[in-house]
Amino acid sequence: MILGSPCRYVESPNQDERPDGEEPTLLVVHSISLPPGEYGGDAIEQLFSNRLDPRAHPYFREIAGLKVSAHFLVRRDGGLVQFVPVGRRAWHAGASRWRGRERCNDYSLGVELEGLEGGPFEPAQYRSLERLVRALRAALPLRQIAAHSDVAPGRKGDPGAGFAWRRVLAALSQH
Ligand SMILES: [Zn+2]
């Protein structure tokens, strides 16, 4: 499934098949900004499509070779970009475990919020994320939501304390 307007689609090569019959039941929330703390550029899209120029910023040298992706990115203005169809596996959680089950990429959707780990997010991002969660809930057996820091504790800290869980939990619980 690819969501319609206003979602832009940028294909990421960093995806593959989910295990047989697996449907996404978990939403993993991340934060990212490239370079860290700078918003609005296209470096995130470049990273997820393996086009990030390691010479463009010192930080990019550390990450330019990563093969990573997420299903969705929510920009600071609420704009939505999709990189991987929800029926396929995006490479966002890495080594991970949620409620005793490992390899969260197998059964989750990854959503990146443009922002700094621990920092605040924009009202437009919550509105966009709530709309997204409702649309996904209508089409998929999505039941749970977790932070990347929840599924990879000690290794990952995003999205951090600035993320207002109650706003998204309310959207997830509506039927
Ligand atoms: Zn993350």
84-103 pLDDT tens trace = 999 999 999 999 999 999 99
20 CA → ligand 1 middle, Å:
25
Q: CA-to-CA distance for 147 and 161, rounded, in angstroms?
A: 10
Sign of CA dihedral 132, 110, 170, 119: negative
Give pTM, 2 decimals: 0.95
What does the pLDDT read at residue 7? 82
The protein residues having their C-beta less than 5 angstroms from ligand 1 (an ion) are: 30, 148, 158
pLDDT at 163 over 90: yes
Task: Give the chain's length.
Answer: 175
If you write DSSP's letter for every residue of 86-116 in order, what string do you get?
Answer: TTEEES-S-S-EETTEE-GGGGEEEEEEES-
pLDDT over threshold 90, residue 114: yes
23 is catalytic: no
Spot the catalytic one: 22, 38, 102, 112: 112
- For residue 159, report the distance from its CA to the centre of ligand 1, in Å: 7
In the predicted structure, residue 39 carries a pLDDT above the cut 90: yes
The tokens describing 85, both together, are 């169809």
Tokens 């299903």 -> residue? 71
Q: For residue 168, what pLDDT is reported?
A: 85
The share of the chain scoring above pLDDT 70, in percent, equals: 95
pLDDT band at 104 (very low <50, low <70, confident <90, very high): very high
pLDDT confidence of 79, banded at 50, 70, 90? very high
- 46 C-alpha vs ligand 1 centroid, how far in Å? 17
pLDDT at 175 over 60: no
Q: What is the mean pLDDT of residues 73-93?
A: 97
**Mean per-residue pLDDT, 44-70:** 97
CA of 167 to the centre of ligand 1 (A): 19
How many angstroms separate the alpha carbon of residue 4 from the centre of ligand 1?
Answer: 25
Asked if the model's pLDDT at residue 174 lies above 80, the reply is: no
